[in-house]
Structure 1
Amino acid sequence: MRVRLIRFRAIGWTARLTAVWMLSLLVMLTGCSNGADAPNVNVVDTGLPVQQISTADKDTVTLVIGAYSVVKDALGRILPEFAVDWEARTGKKIVFQESYEASGTQARAIAGGMEADVALLAMEGDIDKLVGAKLIKPEWKDQDTYHGMVTRSVVVIGTRKGNPLGIRDWLDLTLEGVNVLYPNPKTSGGAQWDINAIYGAGLKMAAEQGENGPKFAKQLLMRIHHNVLSLDKSGRASMAAFEYGVGDAIVTYENEILSRKREGVPYEMILPKHTILVENPAVVVEHYAKKHQVEEAAQALVAYLREPKAQRIFAEAGFRPVNEQVAQETAEVYPIPEGLFHIEDMGGWKDVRETLYSSRGIWYQVLAGIE
């Protein structure tokens, strides 16, 4: 069996019609393919916006997936495994159409009409955009024991080979001559985790030292930001700049550094004493899944993402598992930082968005240089 994975961009109507005809033919050919081995995965860039492409085979299910770009490689391994499992259980083949973007961009696209059946995004706030568009229920976190989450990570500091500047914690990023990279939280929703980690760490350090928390945390963020060379649009863009040799240190997700170290890139990863637990959600986009009559398959996929087999693949890609069994298996690989904190320790996403990212919030003040 061959599973065809499809990505999309906007192009002209003539090309769209041609591409739809060609894809319909490809899907029918896919339905005719047999094989006992795991399915081959082909990524087809159609130039189309994501939409359901119907098949003539009633035994083929098409799922549209809208995901943030960081999970692309892991899904490239997980989806074919799910396809084999799904066919064994139901006798039906499954075709995937995928779109990968920065999390905030992806959330806005789905909320604006990109008909994804399943969404994997970087943070809860991006799922809230789908709630606001009335595509999923407000109680989406209460529908499973994982509270809607599918992977975890922590915010870390990446440095050059051998850590030549001897960086050990957040305060080291404030030193003169240390060039830092992190993305812009106004253009990248996932980048807000980086800023949350720094500001939250400042609150924790202030509590330990008996100082004014918000004042200390703001000063820490301002001093680090003073050393930032550029605000890239996304975490991936910041990593790309770092890979081209820009900067001495980068504030990013643990999984981003681990995945590159496993590829042989000689980065060092610094796990700060105080850092935030990053949690990434996956949901069935109920409105579209129901419209496309694929609710069963969509729910099965989201459930599969939390099963041990998929969680081990996520773990190999650098993510911390949400499945307790796999978390225990990988405990030595993913140590818990001494001062790990959660978004709830900062008041939850609603308070954080108001405190940090509102029109006159801390982030605005940092950019404006307001002490």
Structure 2
Amino acid sequence: MMAVIILSLLVVLPGCSSKSADQDGNGTERAIAMKQISASNKDTVTIVIGAYSVVKDALGRILPQFAADWEAKTGKKVVFQESYEASGTQARAIAGGMEADVALLAMEGDVDKLERAKLINSDWKQQDAYQGMVTRSVAVIGTRKGNPLGIRDWTDLTREGVNVLYPNPKTSGGAQWDINAIYGAGLKMAAEQGKDGPPFAKQLLMRVHHNVLSMDKSGRASMAAFEYGVGDAIVTYENEILSRKREGVPYEMVLPKHTILIENPVVVVRKYARKHQVEEAAEALVAYLREPKAQRMFAEAGFRPVNEQVAKETIKAYPVPDGLFHIDDMGGWDEVREKLYSNRGVWYQVLAGIE
């Protein structure tokens, strides 16, 4: 009798595990290998999720609910393999071969990386009524208990002796939202004061950045540093402060007059979902994330809902700042990337100290 040797091939996905891969409080990655299930068996569907770090806690509640609903509907179990990273890092990993079936990222530009890698359809924003988005937020300032330094707006972050935190926009989508918020607020302030917008906005950003102690890899890592006692103020997502306040952490949240509406996308990574034969389940998950049940859980985690029904239910919890603006008010993502983040853009000049 001939012996038959069966070799099991294990594919290692960077940043993933059978549960999740994340960062510790210092922003140091935990490299955890995982076994990738490339196709579902008869009774189990395995969905690989690549997400930005800030959404981890909300998904920790939502995914089990989807799994229960999916099993009740189809009779099949759902297993999730999850990776949480800074959004830019996560997008580059997926584009480079980490085979996520569903991607939740911090900003549209990170989804564009997947499009350029030919992993998704170019019309991904036109495939649903939400233009590809799953949650919203706004950029805010978090302070210590009682707001001891009396911070009320972005300009207060420029004062001498105020130590500020925000993450690195090279790796973090959340950081780009933070930088956009400060720069865009500068444009709005300049218009109100009859001043030239771009120079005024650049000076505001430069003066805030002068007070920044460190730029961590992700929004979650930056928040962890703040929790360890680093800094007097942090520029972050509204949901990061709200979720901690609801847990009893004595932070204060400052909602600036002028701040940006943050929109976070979700997408089925078609190439990988089809390869793994989980496209139906992946599409169902994305649809579920926008249904009232999931949107209420997002809202409880501090995110602003995209679902109109839940947005109306939670309107008192999420006031609209007087000077709220949209990325389109800054010319859209293409213009912002060129103006702020190109090799000679405003952000480069801020880092280089070029007036």
Q: Give the structure-1-normalised TM-score.
A: 0.87
After TM superposition, what 4+ stretches of structure 1 lie above 4 angstroms from structure 2? 14-19
Asked if the contact 1:156/1:252 (under 8 Å) is kept, the reply is yes
5 Å matches for 1:115-194?
Answer: 115-194=99-178
| Cα distance in 2, alignment partners of residues 191 and 142 from structure 1 | 26
Distance 1:266 1:16 in 2: 49
- CA displacement 1:327-369 (0-9 Å, x = unmatched): 0111011101110001011011110000000000000111111
Alignment-derived partner of residue 33 in structure 2: 48
Separation of aligned partners in 1, 2:164 and 2:188: 22
List per-residue Cα deviations over 1:201-252 (Å, max 9, x = no partner).
Answer: 0001111111100011001001111111122222122212211111111111
Q: SS of the residue aligned with 1:355? A: helix
For each residue in 1:153-194, what CA deviation from the matched residue of structure 2 results, as whole angstroms up to 9, or x when unmatched?
Answer: 000000010001111001111111111111111122321000
Among 343, 361, 364, which residue is 2:327 paired with?
343
The residue that corresponds to 2:292 in the other structure is: 308
2:305 matches 1:329: no
Q: Give 1:99's aligned residue.
A: 83
2:64 aligned residue: 80
Look up the SS of the partner of 2:318 in the other structure: coil
Cα distance per residue 1:80-104 (max 9 Å; x no partner): 1111211222222211111111111
SS state at 2:315 partner = coil
Q: Which residue of 1 aligns with 2:349?
A: 365
2:204 to 213, 220, 229: 220
Q: Structure 1 stretches of 5 or more lacking a match? A: 1-13, 20-41
Structure 2: how far apart are the matches of 1:15 and 1:64? Answer: 19
Is 1:104–1:190's contact at 8 Å kept on the other side of the alignment? no
What secondary structure sits across from 2:19 in the alignment? strand
- Report percent identity of matched pairs: 82
> What SS is found at the alignment partner of 1:153?
strand
C-alpha separation in 1, matches of 2:11 and 2:117 = 31
Q: Aligned with 1:183: secondary structure?
A: coil
Q: Establish whether residue 110 from structure 1 lines up as the match of residue 94 from structure 2.
A: yes
1:271 aligns with 2:255: yes
Q: 1:261 aligns with which of 234, 237, 245?
A: 245
How far apart are residue 268 of structure 1 and its match?
Answer: 0.2
Instruction: Kindly provide the amino acid, as one letter, of the partner of residue 47 in structure 1.
Output: I
Work out which structure has the larger RCO, using CA pairs closer than 8 Å and 6 or more positions apart in sequence.
2
> Is 1:61 paired with 2:45?
yes
Q: Secondary structure at the match of 1:293?
A: coil
Contact 2:172/2:218 (<8 A) preserved: yes
Kept in 2, the 8 Å contact 1:182–1:194? The answer is: yes
Aligned to 1:33: none
Contact 1:50 1:99 in 2 (8 A): no
**Structure 1 residue 43: Cα displacement:** 3.5
Separation of aligned partners in 2, 1:17 and 1:113: 15
Letter in 2 for 1:271: L
Letter paired with 2:282: A
What displacement does 1:50 show? 6.3
Q: Which moved more, 1:110-119 or 1:240-249?
A: 240-249
Name the SS of the counterpart of 2:93 in structure 1.
helix
Shift of 1:146: 0.1
Q: What is the Cα deviation at residue 255 of structure 1?
A: 0.5
Write the deviation string for residues 292-347 of structure 1: whole angstroms up to 9, x where unpaired. 11111111000000000000000000100000100011101110111000101101
Partners of 2:20 and 2:269 lie apart in 1 by 23
Structure 1 residue 44 displacement after superposition:
6.8
Opposite residue 33 of structure 2, the aligned amino acid is L
Alignment correspondent of 1:287: 271
Structure 2: how far apart are the matches of 1:194 and 1:306? 25
TM-score of the pair, normalised by structure 2:
0.91
Partners of 2:190 and 2:82 in 1: CA distance = 44
Range with greater deviation from structure 2 (299-308 or 185-194): 185-194
How many angstroms apart in 2 are the aligned matches of 1:44 and 1:273? 37
Q: Give the Cα–Cα distance (whole angstroms) in 2 for the partners of residues 18 and 226 of structure 1.
A: 44
State the AA in 2 paired with 1:359: N
Q: Number of aligned pairs?
A: 336
CA offsets, 1:262-319, max 9 Å, x none? Answer: 1111000000000000100000001111111111111100000000000000000010
Aligned to 2:301: 317
SS at match of 1:259: helix
Using the alignment, how far apart are the partners of 1:112 and 1:194 within structure 2?
Answer: 26
Please, which moves more after superposition, 69-78 or 147-156? 69-78
Q: 1: CA distance between counterparts of 2:67 and 2:102?
A: 15
Counterpart residue type for residue 242 of structure 2 = L
